[in-house]
Amino acid sequence: MFSGFMIHAWTVATIVAVVAGLVGFFVVLRGSAFVAHAIPNGSFAGAAAASLVGINTLVGFGVFALFGAVSISALGHRGRHDVATALTLVLMLGLGALFVTLSVDYTPEVYSLLFGEILGVSVSQLIPTAGLAFVCVTAIALLYRPLMLSSLLPDVAEARGIATARIDLAFLAVVALATTMTVPVVGTLLIFSLMIGAPAAARSFTDKPLNAIALSVVIALAVVWAAIALSYQTNYPVGFFVGTLSAACYTVGRAWAASRRNANSGRAINPPASRGEPATGRITLNA
Amino acid sequence: MSAQLAAIFDPGFFTSQIVQVAATVSAFAAIVCGTVGVFTVIRGQSFAGEALGDISTTGGSGAFLVAVGPLWGFGVAAVAAAAVMELIGIQRPRGRDLATGIVLGAGLGLAALFLYLDSVNHSTTGATVSIVFGSMFTITSSAIPAVIAFSALAVCLVTALGRPLLLSSISPELAAARGIPVRFVGVAYLLALAIAIAIAAFTIGTILSTALLVGPAAIALRLTRSPARAIAAAAAIGIAATWLSILLAYDSYDWYHQSGKSWPVSFFVVTLIFLGYLLAGLPRRLRRQREIAPELPRG
């Protein structure tokens, strides 16, 4: 289980989990689950296009992922991405359907693109994955404060002169990058489940942003490692275990939050949902 | 004249039974999706529609596994997923999207398993593509009665909900104040959405079903503000888009010489709808520019 080709799988999965846990935290915070689903899913068309014209699939992924991010950001207005995201997604998927049909030898690969093939990762995929992961983490570190503020309190951020629209586009670009590095090795499903499930579970346990991010990365790592081990033992697809384990983590998180709320409600009445900036000046996640 | 017509409609287009079945099924799908889709756009539930569509992949692959018709698989999976989403039941839009995402992730996980078992048990790799992207030209006429029944159910449900649904979509608080059971209306609506998605998935494939649900409705709502007119327009746009796509796909057989196969119908549907959405936005944009233009300094 820890020899030969499996070493690559463990390495890549670890990198993917760290990035997914980090980027996913902001996805959940901003309520952009749909975008996080649409960009990885749609950019699979890029891989099909790349195989049709005979260039590196990673390039195809990157181009389509960035196109998706820009299109969603341009078509949606005032933070409402709903319909724009849906239409961008289906446009890209429609192109994907066309490319798959036109390229004769591509059909079996559709499954591995949608559901991942982490056990077939090669050394040549390791370096670009690590490089893009580094870029993602750096970008999030640089954007951290304005991103946090514009996610939690968009009005306050705008009043302080932060260009929320530009931050939004930058964040979508980071999601696109994270997608580009992860989808070719783990599939669109795995990355989406990790980006949503782990951070959502983490937020049930703590209100402090940095703790939540750390916990989100830890949960993502645990889910991925468990999924690979189970997949190795049972021969079932990795995506199945990642999808169900992520959902299970979320369920546990929700149950924990609910039980704590019940325990608290005996002592004090819950304060109403906070409006405006918290008086303490410290950002918590209970907005 | 007839030569030009023959150039547009390739020989055998009108007599082909495959085309007739595809046109019938897609017309019903367009009507149902138009009706349900207008409310999806108003309620901002595109993601729920997309998620139900993706999850019906699970149903489709499960149905393939146990050898029943895909429509039943789509329907059962979509309705079950809608029920779970409602059970998690977070009412704020952000939390609702999260709940949708979690259900979607778990559903896709199951789909991965089923498709894997499909390829192991039936030693075929084609299942993934035909379930995910649909294949309108392989629908048999025996499926039509089920499609009609499902369509009637969804349209009746939305019609019966009628004004309470509209009010609770636009302003849940106002609806609640008037004594409308908002939660119940939401559940019934989600059921109609699940059925619509199942039919759309059957027609143009699971992951493109959103196009038929959200696209025509979004175009229609850009053209008119009246809900009734928007529903009618959305249904008409949906029918126009699917029928034109069937024609284009039928004609496309000899467009790309190396392959010698027709282009997927779903591709044309999606492209036409996307172009329509952009075009429908033009009048408003032009009007806005005309309003702003006099204020701009010249030169």
B9-18 confidence digits (pLDDT tens): 776 777 778 8
Residues of A in contact with B87 (CB under 8 A): none
- Closest residue in A to B211 (Cα) is A90
pLDDT computed for residue A277 by the predictor: 40
Question: Hey, which residues 60-99 in chain A have their CB within 8 Å of chain B?
Answer: 80, 82-83, 85-87, 89-91, 93-95, 97-98
Distance from CA of A69 to the nearest CA of B (A): 16
Contact B274 A33 (CB under 8 A): no
A236 contact partners, CB below 8 Å, separation of at least 6: A230, B113, B116
What mean pLDDT do residues B24-36 have? 92
Phi, psi of B2 (to 5 degrees): -65, -30
How far apart are the C-alpha atoms of B74 and A89, rounded to whole Å?
20
Bridge partners of B208? none
Is the pLDDT at A191 greater than 70, yes or no? yes
Half-sphere exposure of B5 (CA within 13 A, CB side): 5
Best mutation site among B50, B61, B102 for testing chain A: the one with the most A CBs within 10 Å? B102
Mean pLDDT of A247-266: 82
Calculate the CA dihedral of residues B110, B111, B117, B122 and round it to 10 degrees. Answer: 160
3 state SS of A136: helix
- Mutation choice for B interface testing from A101, A112, A186 by most B CBs within 10 A: A101
pLDDT of residue A245 exceeding 70, the answer is yes
Q: What is the pLDDT of residues A59-110, one digit of tens each?
A: 888 889 899 888 888 887 655 678 888 888 888 888 888 887 777 655 556 6
Cα A137 from chain centroid?
Answer: 13
Q: Which of B71, B29, B239, B32 has the alpha carbon at shortest distance from B155?
A: B32
What domains are defined for chain B? 2-294 (1.10.3470.10)
pLDDT beyond 60 at A285: no
Phi, psi of A251 (to 5 degrees): -60, -45
DSSP conformation letters of A207-218 = -SHHHHHHHHHH
Those residues with Cβ within 8 angstroms of residue A231's Cβ, 6 or more apart along the chain or in another chain:
A119, A237, A238, A240, A241
User: How far from A212 is each of A25, A69, A199, A287, CA to CA, in Å?
Assistant: 8, 26, 7, 15
H or E segment to which residue B206 belongs: none
Place B71 in a pLDDT band, splitting at 50, 70 and 90.
Answer: confident
Answer whether A250 sits within 8 Å of B269, measured CB to CB.
no
The set of long-range contacts for B94-100, using a CB threshold of 8 Å and a minimum separation of 24, is B94/A31, B95/A31, B96/B45, B96/B48, B97/A31, B97/A32, B97/A33, B97/A34, B97/B47, B98/A28, B98/A31, B98/A33, B98/A196, B98/A200, B100/A33, B100/A34, B100/B47, B100/B48, B100/B51
- Determine the pLDDT at residue A278: 42
Helix residue ranges per DSSP H, chain B = 2-8, 17-43, 46-66, 70-88, 93-121, 126-133, 144-170, 172-177, 182-204, 209-223, 227-251, 265-292
Residue with tokens 């964040």: A171
Element of type H or E holding A130:
helix A123-152
Q: How far is B298 from chain A (nearest CA, A)?
A: 27
% pLDDT > 90, chain A = 13
The residue to which tokens 């075009």 are assigned: B279
Residue A273 region by backbone torsions, left for phi larger than 0, else alpha for psi between -120 and 50, else beta: beta
**With a CB-CB cutoff of 8 Å, which residues 11-50 of chain A face chain B?**
28, 31-34, 36-38, 41
How many Å apart are CA A85 and CA A77, to the nearest integer?
11
User: Residue A35 is encoded by which pair of tokens?
Assistant: 């975008």
Specify the pLDDT at position A287: 40
Q: Measured between alpha carbons, how far is A96 from B270 in angstroms, rounded to an integer?
A: 11
CB contact under 8 A, B116 and A91: no
Any idea what the Cα angle at residue A27 is, between residues A23 and A28, rounded to 5°?
120
pLDDT at A273: 44
Nearest to A202 by CA among A221, A182, A179: A221
Count of CB pairs separated by less than 8 Å, A with B: 179
**Range ranked top by mean pLDDT from A62-66, A185-189, B295-299:** A62-66
Q: How far apart are CA A45 and CA A41, in angstroms?
A: 8
Answer yes or no: do B207 and A101 touch at CB < 8 A: no
Instruction: Note the pTM of the prediction, 2 decimals.
Output: 0.82
The per-residue pLDDT for B241 is 93
B100:A197 CB<8 A: no
Dump the DSSP string for A61-121.
HHHHHHHHHHHHHHHSBTTB-HHHHHHHHHHHHHHHHHHHHHSGGGHHHHHHHHH--GGG-
